[in-house]
Every structure is written in structure tokens, then in C-alpha cells.
Amino acid sequence: MKITIVYDNCLAKAGLRTGWGFSSLIEVENALPLLFDTGADGATLLYNMKQLSIDPRQIGTIVISHAHGDHTGGLSDILKMNKDAEIYVPASTVATLPGRKVITVSQPIQISESVFSTGELKGIEQSLAIKTGKGILVVAGCSHSGVGSILDAASCYGKVYGIVGGLHGFRDFSRLENLSLICPCHCTQHKSELRRLFTDQYIACGAGLELEQ
């Protein structure tokens, strides 16, 4: 599988734009590309997609982690270009997208052959658990529900080996000890401590980062 960071506060590839928010594209075998979150504004999202040669019309699934504007802001612009994608939102989200199929997620569910949602945790947010040859890779938006509860929920799909995404104020660092990939993005407040504690596992996040697993 391949995950590309499309929208982030930091930059990993020259020529892209940064902005407060998060979006990533997830490509796995036997499924159309999945867009996880849409950043804060459509112009930046679509600009970065163009630079990364991502065609918004090819996206088959859009998953929104939670209903904060820095994750949903680009959705309406994407939907203008993409009429067919299935949309998954956490159940607490009030989604009014006339004419679109919106799946509200409360319990853990399978989205494609190798992509699963943790279900809505703590009444606010869902994260993804992706099955790879190395185990489960977790992709999180802001982790408002707590990194520990996300890792616990994802563990029902297999052994978690890595996490990518916004970790917010998370500092229960021992929870990450058994992971081999730690890529804190967006709202993560303790990036420098994570980098220091997990030097070998740490990958710096930024718009344009591509991880192949």
C-alpha cells in the first residue's frame, strides 16, 4: 500500500502548499484510491493534488475522521469534481450532502478488502486500520479520541506496527514502544519529544510525503 500526505502544516516536497489541517491519499490493492480527510480549504487541497498527479475523479472513497473544519474544509470542492465517491463520516457528524451516499459510522466496519474503520471513538472521531504485509498501519486525523483508544480499537484487526497522522496532545509515549513506524503529522504537539524518543521509528510528516508499505 501507499499513503501520500496531501495536506499538512509542514512541507515534505518542494512546490506544494502547506496549511493547518490534514488530508492523505491511501492506495491499496483491489480498491480505488481512498481520501482520508480533506484539509481546511479546497484550493490548497486541489493544488497539492495536481502537483502530486492525483486525479480527484479517481477517488472511490472519502473518509472523514471528524467534523472539524481543518479536516472537512476541502470536501465540498472535491465533491464538485467527484460525483461517485462513497463517503464515510463518524456518526456524530451532521452530514447534509444532498444526492450523495453518506455512510455514518459508529461501530468498527470494513471499508475495502484491507481498509477498516475503528468506528467512532469517544463520540467524535474515527481512524483507519490498514492491513499490510507488516501488520496494521493506523492512520489518524487528530486523535481527539486518544491515541491509546485508537491503537486498542485497531488491534482487533491485527498487530499494529505503525501510526501516521495527527496525535494532538498525546504524551503517553510508552504506548508507542512496540511500533516500528511513527509519523506524527498536523496537530501533534510533542513532535520533538517523539523524534528524540523514537529516533529509529520516526518519520517527519509533511505535504508530499509518500510512504510505501
Cβ nearer to Zn ion, comparing 46 with 142: 142
Cβ nearer to Zn ion, comparing 68 with 82: 68
Cβ nearer to Zn ion, comparing 120 with 135: 120
Stretch that binds Zn ion, among 23-31, 42-50, 141-149, 176-184 (CB under 5 A): 141-149
Cβ nearer to Zn ion, comparing 77 with 114: 77
Phi, psi of 72 (to 5 degrees): -110, -10
Is 89 within 8 Å of 103 (Cβ atoms)? yes
Q: Determine which residue in the list 70, 72, 115, 184 makes contact with Zn ion, applying CB under 5 A.
A: 70
Stretch that binds Zn ion, among 81-89, 96-104, 108-116, 137-145 (CB under 5 A): 137-145
Stretch that binds Zn ion, among 39-47, 74-82, 109-117, 179-187 (CB under 5 A): 179-187
The residue count for binding Zn ion (CB under 5 A) is: 4
Q: Determine which residue in the list 68, 167, 182, 194 makes contact with Zn ion, applying CB under 5 A.
A: 68
- The Cα 133–Cα 28 span in angstroms is 12
- Asked if 168 touches Zn ion (CB under 5 A), the answer is no
Which ranges of the chain does DSSP label H, i.e. alpha helix? 42-51, 69-72, 75-81, 147-154, 191-197
Report long-range pairs for 91-96 (Cβ below 8 Å, ≥24 apart): 91/120, 92/67, 92/120, 92/123, 92/124, 93/64, 93/66, 93/67, 94/67
Is 20 within 8 Å of 200 (Cβ atoms)? no
- The Cα 160–Cα 132 span in angstroms is 10
Stretch that binds Zn ion, among 46-54, 81-89, 147-155, 180-188 (CB under 5 A): 180-188
Q: Determine which residue in the list 25, 85, 187, 207 makes contact with Zn ion, applying CB under 5 A.
A: 187
Q: Which three cell numbers stand for residue 67?
A: 467534523
- The Cα 121–Cα 208 span in angstroms is 28
> What are the residues binding Zn ion (CB under 5 A)?
68, 70, 142, 187
